[in-house]
């Protein structure tokens, strides 16, 4: 068990659907992240939240909408996606400045998204 839990683990959706990915961390961390992992490509940073404020939006299309209601939860809302958005979406957390940043991220097992 990693301390970072992602649901659902697998999601299949049509291009007109609206769905959400959920991430919860049980580590008391202050920063949370969404990464996208596509085949044969490096992991791409999508969003960073530090103390519930978005500090990074890495040129992500507006069809991906993040939400961080508190420091333990992070959502990725999905709407009108394209087939090329099919990927493994990984959530991560880190202690952040207040907790003593040691550099590493702690990852969940990912949500495998397939867009038909």
Partner 1 sequence: AQKVTQAQTEISVVEKEDVTLDCVYETRDTTYYLFWYKQPPSGELVFLIRRNSFDEQNEISGRYSWNFQKSTSSFNFTITASQVVDSAVYFCALSSIRSILTGGGNKLTFGTGTQLKVEL
In the complex, which residues of this chain contact partner 1 (CB under 8 A)?
2, 4, 31, 33, 40-43, 45, 48-50, 55-56, 88, 90, 92, 94, 96-97, 101-110, 112
DSSP 48-68: EEETTEEEEE-S--TTEEEEE
Of 42 and 83, the one with the shorter C-beta distance to partner 1 is 42
Q: How far is the CB of 70 from partner 1 (least distance, A)?
A: 17
Identify the burial level of 22 via C-beta atoms within 10 angstroms of its C-beta, where 0-12 means exposed, 13-18 middle and 19 or more buried. middle
- Distance between CA 86 and CA 88 in Å, rounded? 7
Of 18 and 54, the one with the shorter C-beta distance to partner 1 is 54
Q: How far is the CB of 5 from partner 1 (least distance, A)?
A: 10
- Distance between CA 109 and CA 96 in Å, rounded? 21
Of 43 and 60, the one with the shorter C-beta distance to partner 1 is 43
């Amino acid at each position: 068990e990693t301390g970072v839990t992602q649901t659902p683990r697998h999601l299949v959706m049509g291009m007109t659907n609206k769905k959400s990915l959920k991430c919860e961390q049980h580590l008391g961390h202050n920063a949370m992240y969404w990464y996208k992992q596509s085949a044969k490509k490096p992991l791409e940073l999508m969003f960073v939240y530090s103390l519930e404020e978005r500090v990074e939006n890495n040129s992500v299309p507006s069809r991906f909408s993040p939400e961080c209601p508190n420091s333990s939860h992070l959502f990725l809302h999905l709407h009108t996606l394209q087939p090329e958005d099919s990927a493994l979406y990984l959530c991560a957390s880190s202690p952040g400045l207040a907790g003593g940043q040691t550099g590493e991220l702690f990852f969940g097992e990912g949500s495998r998204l397939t867009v038909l």
